[in-house]
A = this chain, B = another copy of it.
Amino acid sequence: MTHLHQHEESLGTSLETIMVHMSEVLILTRTEVESCLSMKRTIEAVKEAYMAFANNRVQMPPVMHLDVEKYNGEVDIKSGFVEDFDLIGTKIASGYYDNHKLGLPPGMAVIVLMDLKTSMPLAIMDGSYITAYRTGAAGAVAASVLARKDSKKVGVIGAGTQGRMQVLALREIFDLDEIRVWDIEEKIGKRYATEMSDLLEIDVSYSENREEVVRGSDIVVTVTPSRKALVMESWIEEGMHINAIGADGPGKQELDPAIVKRAD
């Protein structure tokens, strides 16, 4: 009986407190998020999260998906928490494939972070960089377990943001000395080579020949929206590690199916 009263009472008095809490929420723009992020720390966090998941310490419901056929877009909402971290994260992220016609980015991401103890919101932030870093870090965590420890040469198929992130993450794990990159557009590939060479202070070169990029690499990363094989089985050498990042949905493909059959 007392419980009934307390519940009603607290509903009656909750309003102002929530207002105060909402005012205290930290709002972080894309630039502010970028200034806080470290790839090294992101890799540690991704590794911790994967280990927690493997140990059944993660609650993560299926992704909520909205199809916006009318505007050729989609929205995915993901939420979950690691029992031990005392934080709940929720991300709303979109892919809108006609946005470029309006001069807009091809999607957006917003992350709401809540205190697991009380559910009070702690921060609301742009999620684009966090997504880019997380995806880069996930590739590096996979390679840290599966690639040769002495990997030095990386072949990159696709010179976009994620083509950069994968390499920035890999160099936290490996002592890289050469990057070769291919892109369907020469200009984009050459810009990648110049920028990444300056940033990493190692040899980064563009090739218009995918086979040249793949052969001799210790690690190959494919980061394109391709719907057909870009990397052939005959180019693959024993011990080579491949992170195929781009094929993230039905109909997408970056690898010759024979590679998947041969992989161990």
Q: Which residues of A contact B (CB under 8 A)?
A: 1, 3-19, 21-23, 27, 29-31, 59, 61-62, 64-68, 70-71, 73, 75, 77, 79-81, 83, 88, 90, 92, 94, 96, 99-100, 102, 104-110, 112, 114, 116-121, 124, 126, 128-129, 158-162, 183-185, 188, 224-226
Give the Cβ gap from A154 to chain B, nearest Cβ, in Å. Answer: 18
Docked complex Cα distance between A119 and B81 (Å): 25
Task: Determine the residue in chain B with the shortest Cβ distance to A16.
Answer: B30
A-B contact pairs, 28 of them (CB 8 A): A3-B225, A4-B184, A5-B188, A6-B100, A7-B225, A8-B225, A9-B160, A10-B99, A14-B128, A15-B30, A15-B161, A19-B29, A21-B105, A22-B108, A59-B66, A61-B65, A66-B80, A68-B81, A70-B83, A71-B116, A71-B118, A75-B88, A75-B119, A77-B79, A79-B92, A104-B118, A110-B112, A124-B124
Docked complex Cα distance between A236 and B17 (Å): 38
CB neighbours of A117 from chain B (8 A) = 71
Given A66-B88, A108-B121, 9 more A-B residue pairs with CB atoms under 8 Å apart are: A5-B184, A8-B183, A22-B108, A22-B126, A79-B92, A90-B92, A92-B114, A94-B114, A110-B112
Task: Determine the residue in chain B with the shortest Cβ distance to A77.
Answer: B79
Question: Which of the residues B12, B66, B106 comes within 8 Å of A11, measured between beta carbons?
Answer: B106
Task: Determine the residue in chain B with the shortest Cβ distance to A19.
Answer: B30
Interface of A, secondary structure class, is mixed
Give the Cβ gap from A183 to chain B, nearest Cβ, in Å. Answer: 7
Q: Are A17 and B105 in contact (CB under 8 A)?
A: yes
Question: Which of the residues B4, B22, B29, B99 comes within 8 Å of A22, measured between beta carbons?
Answer: B29
CB neighbours of A184 from chain B (8 A) = 1, 4-5, 8
Known A106-B14, A116-B68: A126·B75 in contact at CB below 8 Å = no
CB neighbours of A81 from chain B (8 A) = 66, 68
Q: Are A107 and B126 in contact (CB under 8 A)?
A: no
Q: Are B159 and A8 in contact (CB under 8 A)?
A: yes
